[in-house]
Structure 1
């Protein structure tokens, strides 16, 4: 019996809640109907009064620092590592020897190539002497010259391999990773030896939207801030602006940043680029939603106070600044532009302003 009473109570409460929601919705709909009736069938719209405003172009963007140069250094010769002259974290200069490959086999190849080249020179000299006396043909002499040239090229290649046994840094930078040890065997197919990075200059990589990228140019100077070093001041300049937006409709840009004397900034740290533009001249800005369809239509509705109607107006739009659009001509200060409800409007439609 008690269970039945509980079920009945629950049902009554549920029916009461449904009745309350329906009554509340009916009341709201009635209020909307009364509003339209008071406006004699006029379309309810939102409006904005047109004034001249100074556009705010300054903005900041967050990103991460990347090294100016980053190189995964690979082996070019096969052999056993004979010596390593640097450790991780060491600062190196371009041309500095980092490690050495055992050059015994490479040196043997060079000596063989040297002997072959010297023998080819002697053969060419003999053929040349015989040709002058009619002992050999021009074709035989040409073949001797070709053999000399090929031997010379092989000698040059072996000398280059011998020189490459001393593994030299191709850039100025820091040894970030060392992948080899003394005694390890490396192949000519490209065994990874070192990871070198140059952080004397860094690239701050950030994304900006379409309204922001329109005001940027390669070479623009930018102030850079780092939360890790809030007291240090860094400067950079825009070195790259993407010609195409990414999937999120943002444009990747890169800012070249000079590190301080201690190379405090590290690749992978977060940074903030502060874009500071000169003060702009005041201009007419209207909400982006004021346009009929889209900004490219260059048409808006202006509220006529004397007749309480919407009037179509053609305008010339300029820069898109966030949710505002610059108007170059077609509107004047003090006029009222309709910002919503345009889908129900035609020229001369009666309107009521939503307060």
Structure 2
């Protein structure tokens, strides 16, 4: 027991020293918290007093307010243009169904879907055997009728025979000639050809099928006479006219070009309150019927417009305003806005274009705020 007594004394000494250090640290923390609270209360009291004095003395408020770090821009004087945007589709005036004109069985189909053909190229053949037999029969009858007519004509020229005999033979010959011409025309219609150059979109008939006049055989689209049709809101009726310039953009192929309005509809659609606008489309290799396009039609322009970015325009009960900077102090400037297109707004009144506007930090300032301009 006596041997362990010195170690016990050392242990108790270390323990007491440790407890003393913890008490001192706790006291310092408590003191720090107390001072922070006093400092916060003091700051609040100072700010409250500054606000009260600022209300009574505006100049004091300006000089004592903390400066806000901002960046600035100037209004732009540009040639401002406003466009009406509408979605349209490419259509073709030569989008047709080619139908059969005679009765018969399809003998041969030469066209396939997606095939490009020229005007007059054969697409299909219909069996013409019955028509051909009729042609041969009428040709023999006509051959005899011509012989009889020629003999009767010689006799009539010699004043032999009656006039009625001459006229009957002449009439029979002419009737057979017309019948033969009709049969040949009918026979020509058994060969189905392309009415104009274009593409075979779909084949609607098969070899061996029996068709009648009017039976659709092919869906055919010409490669010319394409146009774009779009629905435009009735609010622009009277603003858009034939001949107006139009910018066209095709989102699918990322192509654009400029053309003109070729026709403006005069009837309002009751369902969506729009009217039709037709735009001329020149030949474009990528243009296909039903291709989506975006039309940008200019309806307003100002060659000397003062403009500002949309995001800088704020509103209150009095109207629209922006913040300008004069001698490192912000000023609330009320404006009258005009047309807006994309990210730019035209300013009709309130700005001359020579002012300096608050850009970054415009939401952190107010009227008569002291500011520092970032370089």
Query: Which TM class, normalised by the smaller chain length?
Result: 0.5 to 0.7
Q: Structure 2 CA distance, aligned partners of 1:134 and 1:201? A: 62
3-state SS, counterpart of residue 301 of structure 2? coil
Residue number among 217, 220, 228 corresponding to 1:204 in the alignment? 228
Match status 1:272 vs 2:294: yes
Tell me which residue corresponds to 1:39.
none
Tell me which residue corresponds to 2:261.
238
Q: Structure 1 CA distance, aligned partners of 2:304 and 2:231? A: 28
- Runs of 5+ consecutive residues of structure 1 not aligned to the other structure: 1-53, 284-320, 323-332, 335-355
Match status 1:255 vs 2:279: yes
Compared with structure 1, are the counterparts of its residues 150 and 237 closer, same or farther at alpha carbon in structure 2 (3 Å cutoff)? farther
Tell me which residue corresponds to 2:318.
none
Residue number among 90, 95, 110 corresponding to 2:135 in the alignment? 110
Deviation of 1:217 (Å): 3.0
Rg: which structure is higher? 2
Compared with structure 1, are the counterparts of its residues 133 and 171 closer, same or farther at alpha carbon in structure 2 (3 Å cutoff)? same
Deviation of 1:82 (Å): 1.7
Tell me which residue corresponds to 2:68.
none
- Runs of 5+ consecutive residues of structure 2 not aligned to the other structure: 1-78, 306-337, 340-348, 351-375
After superposition, the CA RMSD in angstroms is 2.9
Q: How does the TM-score come out when normalised to structure 2?
A: 0.55
Tell me which residue corresponds to 2:106.
81
Compared with structure 1, are the counterparts of its residues 185 and 281 closer, same or farther at alpha carbon in structure 2 (3 Å cutoff)? same
Q: How does the TM-score come out when normalised to structure 1?
A: 0.58
4+ residue segments displaced more than 4 Å: 54-57, 280-283
Tell me which residue corresponds to 2:96.
71
Deviation of 1:255 (Å): 1.3
8 A contact 1:67–1:201 mirrored in 2: yes
**Larger displacement relative to structure 2 (273-282 or 152-161):** 273-282
| Length, aligned pairs only | 230
Match status 1:146 vs 2:171: yes
Q: Structure 2 CA distance, aligned partners of 1:137 and 1:241? A: 68
3-state SS, counterpart of residue 111 of structure 1? helix
Tell me which residue corresponds to 2:249.
225
Per-residue CA deviations over 1:117-157 (Å, capped at 9, x if unaligned) read 22222222122122233433223322322222211111111
Match status 1:176 vs 2:198: no
Per-residue CA deviations over 1:77-118 (Å, capped at 9, x if unaligned) read 222222221100001111000111122222111212222222
Per-residue CA deviations over 1:11-41 (Å, capped at 9, x if unaligned) read xxxxxxxxxxxxxxxxxxxxxxxxxxxxxxx
